[in-house]
Structure 1
Amino acid sequence: MSDPKDSTDELAGSEQPFVQHLMELRDRLLYGIVGLAICMALLAFWPGPSGLIDLIATPIRAHMPPGAKLIAVGVFSPFFVPIKVLAMAALLLSLPWWMYQIWAFVAPGLYSHEKRFAIPLIVLGSLLAYVGIAFVQLFVLDKMFGFIQQFTPASVAATPDIASYVEAILSLYLAFGLAFQVPIVVVLLVKTNMVTVQKLKEFRGYFIVVAFVIAAVVTPPDVISQLALAVPMCLLYEVGIWGAQWFIKNTAAPEAPAEDAPAK
């Protein structure tokens, strides 16, 4: 007698050889790289590397003396720094395309209820990354540089090096972009049965301490940026708990049909 599960398993017969999986992964990586190259070409045309540098330098220039500019100490900094900024901006712009390629690679191995669970997380993860980076650009950098400039002696000209400035803000972009993924991590932990919602609620106090420790490690040594990272992480932790409850309720696997009772 055939197993009833064989007729209901929607993935039955969809297995592929390992080499075919590698070829599919290669194709998805190539598609992602092509998308990245297109984004780089578009950004190189407008606003251009110089325009991107001017954009990310806006927060610190607002707190510099009138007419002051960032300086390039390194011999090759005027060339390599704009290219680095252009590549990072292109990567951010192509993030949804990369997420789609990841989705297209793993989707054939997912059940329909798992797809309903994965798609919202992919979209939400991309949006949260953008929100985190925008939060840095529009709020954190301005407040942070304003705080730092208060301690600059009048006899010192604050003219930072463009290479060190770009490295610092890119690290902040990365830190906040990852930190804003807290709800996604929380939902995945609950969805994979690694932890329960009740345990997350009990861990709330410990997470606040962890959030402030992480903020102290990954941000510059100023109170503004540390609070700007730790407080949203704590709020997003609560959002993750709520989101985990919602996802569990709305993306549960359908119950398997009951097997026939054995004949007497």
Structure 2
Amino acid sequence: MAESTGTGGVTNESSEANAPLDDAEMPLADHIEEMIKRLGVVLVAMALVSGVVFLVADDLINFIWYSLLPGSAQLCPDAPADVAACPRVYDPLGLILARLKVSTLAGFVVALPLFVYETYAFMRPGLYPRERRYYIAAVPTSLVLAVVGVGFAFLVVLPVIFTYFLSYSEAAANIAFGLTETFGLMTLLMGFFALVFQIPLFVMLAIMMGITTRAWLANKRLYFWGTFIGIAFLFSPDPTGMAPIIVAATMITLFEGTLLLLRWTGSD
């Protein structure tokens, strides 16, 4: 039965319907234990996907390598020294490490939406029904954005970077690509862009759940720009500066594009 107020008999039925239904106090130790278990689920799922992909890692390595560095896949096993696109292995574990990197990338992409879901499940008892709907919708959206991020890195960013590398190196030295270092750069940037493309999701989710507002984010944009630039240069393995510049520009574009979309639709 709805409870009446003392002034005009107005019921609180609507507010009760929107209240968190499962909110209850829990000891801090129980919260920490649950959080660790949910993170464990994400890590186990990532490890399982990585293990499955590891079985076909050689095919993925060849596909990624020869898509970004065109060369003759049939010639490369017995290639002469002037075939620059062929991968070189300079240590006994080079191929194993490349397999681990590509399989870990696949596991990471799958783990991103699972991480979003597990955070939702962790916070679900304290969320309002509207917030729960937003969070559930964010799970498939996270996977789509991760795949788009990997595709953007694979189709746009990495070809630009390797074209730049070749353009300033060809006149000064004979080029040979080491498998471990080169493939490490490829997989790191693809994984990084899978994470970077989550920015619109995080911004919109924070606004929809009332954590912040579009106006506040717009007023503090320079702080976010500085953070994006710092992260790009801190975690990029490219000493020439080309990769960090592209990463930082992409992060700022995604952030500003999300704010522009929210302003255009009138959502705050």
Q: TM-score scaled to structure 2, two decimals?
A: 0.70
- Is the 8 Å Cα contact of residues 191 and 244 (structure 1) preserved in structure 2? no
1:108-127 to structure 2, matched below 5 A, reads: 108-127=125-144
Task: Name the counterpart of 1:157.
Answer: 174
Per-residue CA deviations over 1:112-138 (Å, capped at 9, x if unaligned) read: 122123233344333323222211111
Q: Are 2:91 and 1:74 aligned?
A: yes
- Alpha-carbon distance between aligned partners in 2 of 1:110 and 1:191, rounded to the nearest angstrom: 12
Amino acid corresponding to residue 119 of structure 1 in structure 2: I
Q: Which range moved further: 94-103 or 2-11?
A: 2-11
Q: Point out the more displaced range, 238-247 or 80-89.
A: 238-247
Q: Does 1:168 align with 2:168?
A: no
1:55 and 2:63 correspond:
yes
Bigger drift between 150-159 and 129-138 goes to: 150-159
Equivalents in 2 of 1:104, 1:210: separation in Å?
29
Alpha-carbon contact 1:35-1:94 (below 8 Å) kept? yes
Unaligned runs of 5+ in 1: 250-264
Tell whether the 8 Å contact from 2:20 to 2:127 is kept in structure 1 after alignment.
no
Q: 1:211 to 1:33 in 2, by over 3 A?
A: closer
Number of aligned residue pairs: 246
- Match of residue 258 from structure 1: none
Q: 2:107 aligns with which of 69, 75, 90?
A: 90
Q: Do the aligned partners of residues 156 and 25 (structure 1) sit closer, same or farther apart at CA in structure 2, a change above 3 Å counting?
A: same
- Shift in CA distance, 224/21, structure 1 to aligned 2, threshold 3 Å: closer
Structure 2: unaligned runs, 5 residues or longer: 6-11, 73-81
When structure 1 is superposed on structure 2, of 194-203 and 140-149 the one drifting more is 194-203
1:36 equivalent in alignment to 2:53:
no
Structure 2 CA distance for partners of 1:186 and 1:156, relative to 1, 3 Å: same
Instruction: Indicate the residue corresponding to 1:233 in structure 2.
Output: 251
After TM superposition, give the deviation of residue 30 of structure 1 in Å. Answer: 4.5
Q: Is the 8 A contact 1:186 1:244 kept in 2?
A: no
- Deviation at residue 33 of structure 1 after TM alignment: 4.1
What displacement does 1:247 show? 9.4
Distance (Å, rounded) in 2 between the aligned partners of 1:210 and 1:18: 31
In structure 2, the partner of 1:138 is 155
Alpha-carbon contact 2:23-2:125 (below 8 Å) kept = no
Greater shift in the superposed pair: 158-167 or 232-241: 232-241
Cα distance in 2 between the residues matched to 1:52 and 1:59:
10
CA–CA separation in structure 2 for the residues paired with 1:61 and 1:194: 45
**Would you say the 8 A contact 2:84–2:175 is kept in 1?**
no
In the alignment, is the contact (CA less than 8 A) between 2:88 and 2:177 conserved in 1? yes
Residue identity in the other structure for 1:236: L
SS of alignment partner, residue 151 of structure 1? helix
RCO greater where, 1 or 2, for CA within 8 Å and sep 6 or more? 1
More displaced, 60-69 or 92-101? 60-69
8 Å CA contact retained: 2:131, 2:209: no
1:196 shift after superposition: 4.0
One-letter amino acid matched to 2:161: M
CA-atom RMSD, angstroms? 3.8
Decide whether the 8 Å contact of 1:136 with 1:172 is kept in 2: yes
Corresponding residue number in structure 1 for 2:197? 180
State the alpha-carbon separation in 1 of the partners of residues 40 and 111 from structure 2. 13
Shift of residue 210, structure 1, vs aligned partner: 6.3
TM-score between both structures, scaled by the size of structure 1: 0.71
Matched residue of 2:90: which SS?
A: coil
With 62-71 and 110-119 compared, the bigger mean Cα shift is at 62-71
Distance verdict in 2 for CA 1:41–1:237, change over 3 Å: closer
Rate the CA distance shift 1:202–1:63 in 2: closer, same or farther, 3 A.
Answer: farther
| Residues 113 and 143 in structure 2, CA contact (< 8 A), matched pair in contact too | yes
